[in-house]
Amino acid sequence: MNRNEIAVLLNEKAVLYNNPSFIAKDPICIPHSFSSKQDIEIAAFFAALFAWGNRTIIINKSRELMQLMENAPHDFVLHHQPKDMKRLLLFKHRTFNATDILYFIEFLKEHYLHHTSLETAFSQWGNTIEEMLSGFHNYFFSLEDFPHRTRKHIATPAKKSNCKRLNMFLRWMVRQDDCGVDFGIWNNIHPSQLICPVDVHVARVAKHLGILQREQTDWQAAIELTEYLRTLDAQDPVKYDFALFGLGVMEKL
């Protein structure tokens, strides 16, 4: 396919999949269950970080965690009592276990005691997403006696990870349009700055279309793909995540 044909295809598929019918079977349905900014942020953060493997299981486990937090995640984070934490001890999703969830809650409480939004946990560290994600990783593990096993759940470009789940979380929070899927509730990060989330499906489609050459699905691959997508829409390159994901998962391209 030539460049014009690729642009037509990706624009068509972005429109097809970026609509409310996409929500129900995607982990983004979890934060869509809430209305307050902080509840949306926390629900989205967990749903995005759980997003590897079967989507139905991801959604069910995310919903289970929200129920354990009494479907009021911000209030739970700030005001839980030791007895409330006991019911989290049996929670597990793949390699994410009680040790991890307890530290996540501790970090979120410390952050929300001093900030009204999770946005500052990212935006205060620099002007690029790479700087923000690297800074967030260091910030997240800045509490005393953090469990080293939990490090594997928060990716960082400094270790060449493509940071797929965090980039997806940022897409949910930052992208602003009238389509009803992404929330667009953060204002200090612009959609033009975002990096496209790259999983195996997105990478496969991108390579098939010839818009991603890099073999490793790492941070550099995410940068390479996003730079191409910016040639199609410099202000909102990550809207094409809908197209690439839809072609890979829904249409099995």
Residues linked to residue 96 through DSSP beta bridges, in sequence order: 93
The answer to whether the beta carbons of residues 173 and 41 sit under 8 Å apart is yes
Q: What beta strand segments (E) does the chain contain?
A: none
> Side-chain half-sphere of 157: how many Cα atoms within 13 Å?
18
The predicted pLDDT at position 96 comes to 96
Give the gyration radius of the chain's Cα atoms.
Answer: 18
Specify the pTM.
0.97
197-210: per-residue pLDDT in tens? Answer: 999 999 999 999 99
Structural domain of residue 143, as residue ranges?
3-250
Burial 132-145 (b: 16+ CB within 10 A, else e): bbbbbbebbbeeee
Residues linked to residue 93 through DSSP beta bridges, in sequence order: 96
How many domains, the chain? Answer: 1
185-238: per-residue pLDDT in tens? Answer: 999 999 999 999 999 999 999 999 999 999 999 999 999 999 999 999 999 999
Residues 4, 5, 9, 10, CA torsion sign: negative
